[in-house]
Amino acid sequence: MKNLFPFVLIISLFLTVSCKQNEQFQSKAQVESSFGPENGTLLIIGGAARDPLFLKLFKEYAGGEEAKIIVVPTAYEDNQIESDSGFVHLKETFEHAGFMNITVLHTRDTALANTEEFIAPIREASGVYFMGGRQWRIADSYLHTKAHDEFNKLLDRGGIIAGSSAGATIQGSYLARGDTKANTIMLGDHEEGLGFMKNVAIDQHILARNRQFDLFEILDQKPELLGIGLDENTGILVKYDQFKVIGNHYVAILDGTRWSRERDTIYQLPAHS
């Protein structure tokens, strides 16, 4: 597969595993309680998803160009939504990638997200794509609603949920950078994600924005979590308890251990290291 460059970031204090091009799905770092959907697939991208490979994979796992997909721009700023109120330009992005049946779903009202009319398109879809922005907006609109239930049912029937940047972080169970005041606050006033991937905190743009150590702040308070840091134009394709790295840069896996190349040994990190 051209342009498929799986890597895992090798930095001191990270538990890491090297991958080779086109290698099979790799088991996640030793946190047995962290897992994705049993039947469906997650495509989790660290932002700036410029490589056409991502939408190509999304289309493949959704069922091809005639698959019914949902695009969710709720993480956007209000002025972004107002500037394309009919979502014409947003749909064009997916049309150019070959999709033929596109529905854009957006609300800031949980009451609407609980209506049969709103969730009906999700019931017929095989793919959902969450756009970037601020992840807490997605949580405010959909967390514990009927729409949230239908997203999970879509995965149960073998569909795919994808997202970039905020659309990546929202897929975790813990909502990293979920504060309404600033995206630099790691443990904020919103701490629950949609939980398509259990017992994880997901961060994005990690090298492009010098964020590679920020997840330690969460893991220091929430050591039971697995930290997943994604660089831009890079993602993971998750199937239950395994994932494959795709894209051009790096993925960091943090679980409170470090790996010694010299001894081929995994060590537990001391507290507050």
The C-alpha atoms of residue 148 and residue 113 are separated, in whole angstroms, by 8
Q: List the domain boundaries for the chain.
A: 26-268
pLDDT of residue 14 exceeding 50: no
pLDDT for 202-218, tens place per residue?
999 999 999 999 999 99
* Whole-number average pLDDT of the chain: 88
Binning pLDDT at 50, 70 and 90, where does residue 21 land? very low
How would you classify the pairing of strands 41-45 and 160-164?
A: parallel
Options 1.25.40.10, 3.50.50.60, 3.40.50.880, 2.30.30.240; which CATH number does 26-268 get?
Answer: 3.40.50.880
Which of 129, 190, 135 has the alpha carbon at shortest distance from 161? 129
For residues 203 and 269, which has the higher predicted lDDT (pLDDT)? 203
Render 124-137 in DSSP notation, one character per residue: H-SEEEE-SS-HHH
pTM of this structure: 0.87
CB atoms within 10 A of CB 213: 14
pLDDT for 67-109, tens place per residue?
999 999 999 999 999 999 999 999 999 999 999 999 999 999 9
What's the confidence (pLDDT) of residue 272?
A: 60
